[in-house]
Amino acid sequence: MNYDYDVIIIGAGPAGLGLANFLSRSNLKILLLDKKKNAGDVQYNIAGTFIDPKDFDLPAEAFNPIKQAYICSKNKTFLVKAHGYIIDRRKLLQHLETKASVSSLNNSWV
């Protein structure tokens, strides 16, 4: 078995998969390490962000817009206008995994 890699990425979350996708356009041999079996094997499925998915060529179906949010404390509740998104992490990570895998299968997911 050959263990000769140019880049080793530890963690297959959004940043790790995004980096794997970016680097897969080169001729580098990449090893992606993560404790998950694949991108769909996530501990929690929901996250939030204020980035616009269109700015990063991300799938719209993984993002649900937020127009307002309640901020609650022990004594008060505030309604604030917001411009953000709830992320379906499973859909996002599966999209990034597919994109990275399709770009170059010279790479390994361990």
pLDDT in tens, 56-108: 888 889 999 999 988 899 999 999 898 899 999 888 888 888 887 755 444 45
Q: What's the average model confidence in pLDDT over 20-32? A: 85
Please give the share of the chain, as a percent, with pLDDT higher than 90. Answer: 16
Give the contacts of 89 (CB within 8 A, at least 6 positions apart).
Answer: 14, 42, 44, 45, 46, 47
Distance, CA of 4 to CA of 48 (rounded, Å): 37
Its pTM stands at: 0.66
- Average pLDDT across the chain, whole number: 82
Of the candidates 10, 5, 18, 28, the residue with the CA atom closest to the CA atom of residue 97: 18
